[in-house]
Amino acid sequence: MKIIDNHKDLSIEFENIIFNFVEVKYNTNKDLFTQEIFSLNEAQNIKLFKKLLEINLFSQKEKVLNKYNTEHVKFISDIKGKIKAKEIKYNDINNFFLNNDTQKVLLERLLIINLMNDSESKKDMQNLLESFNYANKIIEDLNILIEDRNYFYKNSKINEIEQLEKLVKTIKESSFNTIENIPGIQPYLDIINEKEFNERKLKRNSLIFKEIYEKEREVYKTDDNKCLEESNNKLNEIKYNFFKQKNENENNIDTEFLKQFQSMKLNKESLNQEIDKLFLIFDYHDNKEEIFNLMTFLFYKNKILKLVYSLKDIIEITKVQKGFFYNLLKIIISYIEKNNVLKILELSNQLLRVYSINIYDDNDTFIQLLIKFPDFHNIIQLYNELSEDKKEKLREKKIFQILENMIKIFEDKDKMSKIKDKELVQIIRYELTSNSSYNNEILCKFDGFDRIEMINI
């Protein structure tokens, strides 16, 4: 190829010398050449062939009629004929449709096949793309059906799963023009359009349903139909409790489901998505905001209740003036004892808005600090009971710097007695977050710092 690069204007005699050389050096056959054309990696033979095209050597094929020239013209003519007749196999070109870059490689190969004719290459590209998309859609649909069978019917439909996998393999190994004649495909494709299948597909994409289903699978290990039936029954209970009635009493909601629901690893965004999926599954469009608020509250319920109890304790510990918000906390707690979910939700939202607390922010360490605040108070009380020697040793530890911030809140009893309960949270926020580096440090240090450690200092 270096020789070719250095000789831009080649005589017929020199062209014959080049062809005679490459015929010996790069002797090939049709099958190998076809394989190299449809390989993502550019073989040396393809590089050479492209180089010869670039210097228009094949335009003089009537003068240069050696074996390499004439055979390769036949090779590319044969490939072009196969493309037109849709005789190319799915597996031959699958790798070229991974992304835009690989499609560009395919277009380069088609330029070689068409002797650098751009318009013909684009026509062939369009034909291959249409053939590929047709076959790929069938493969995708069959794979979705395989996923459905593997998830819901892995015991009862083993033979069907094997048949589907064989069909996918056959399609990938077949020429595009024979795919529509492969027996047994259409009945499976008809299933894809069935209502029950699409309902299962929606459910399989729902983490909430999958939590239910996996629990039922532990009970009905090999009974696929019973497992799905019981899972649908549990899901319908959710539909009834959340979507069909106003749930004023939490006792109406399945306790086991609540535990599962609250233990799911979701943030606010993914929780929103999961609730939206339930609306799709139930094909339900009414009272969306109300249902969304209820389910969101139940998901964060334990966190909200801990915060409510903690805020009440903080007001009592600091001995600030008790007013409307202290009384509101007591009312919320009374509804907690009655399991009145809607009232707890309504009053909690009112409380959190006043305190500018976003309980749904999973990254807000200040909320976690508030929840832990009574524990901090107990540690501070213990600190005050330590001997001076032990206090001195504690001062040498970094945790004492954190304790100092906590102690400040309790030092001035007269000042605290003049503060109203609704102002307290902002004071605590200022004291604990004036140095932002303390936030995570407080949580980490106090999580592993207990009474025994302080006594043993």
Whether 15 contacts 56, CB under 8 Å: no
How many residues are there in the chain?
457
Whether 357 contacts 307, CB under 8 Å: yes
The span from the CA of 119 to the CA of 300, in Å, is 61
Cα dihedral 339→343→349→354 (10° resolution): -110
pLDDT in tens, 13-65: 445 545 554 554 455 677 888 888 999 998 887 887 787 777 766 554 444 44
Residue closest to 326 by CA, chosen among 299, 308, 300, 340 = 308
State the pLDDT confidence band at 245, using cuts at 50, 70 and 90. low
| Residues 6 or more apart in contact with residue 105 via CB below 8 angstroms | 40, 96
Which two tokens mark 99?
Answer: 């992304």
In percent, the amount of the chain with pLDDT more than 70 equals 75
| Residues 6 or more apart in contact with residue 200 via CB below 8 angstroms | 148, 152
For 84, other C-beta atoms within 10 Å of its C-beta total 12
In this predicted structure, which of 108-117, 371-380, 418-427 has the lowest mean pLDDT?
371-380
- Say what the pLDDT of residue 147 is: 97
- Say what the pLDDT of residue 336 is: 77
The span from the CA of 127 to the CA of 84, in Å, is 7
CA-to-CA dists, residue 347 to 210, 327, 331, angstroms: 32, 11, 8
Q: Which helix (H) or strand (E) holds 360?
A: none
Helix (H, G, I), strand (E, B) or coil at 66: coil
The mean of the pLDDT values for the chain is 79
The span from the CA of 394 to the CA of 46, in Å, is 76
- Say what the pLDDT of residue 328 is: 85
Phi-psi region of 46 (alpha: psi -120 to 50; beta: other; left: phi over 0): alpha
State the pLDDT confidence band at 93, using cuts at 50, 70 and 90. very high
Whether 64 contacts 12, CB under 8 Å: yes
The CA angle 393-396-397, to the nearest 5 degrees, is: 100
**Residue with token string 């529509």:** 180
Whether 173 contacts 84, CB under 8 Å: no
pLDDT in tens, 368-392: 777 777 776 677 777 777 778 877 7
| Residues 6 or more apart in contact with residue 6 via CB below 8 angstroms | none
Which two tokens mark 52?
Answer: 């010869």
- Say what the pLDDT of residue 398 is: 58
Residue 438 one-letter amino acid: Y
- Say what the pLDDT of residue 12 is: 47
Mean pLDDT of 68-73: 71
- Say what the pLDDT of residue 119 is: 94
Mean pLDDT of 344-354: 75
The span from the CA of 92 to the CA of 409, in Å, is 73
Which two tokens mark 206?
Answer: 């729902």
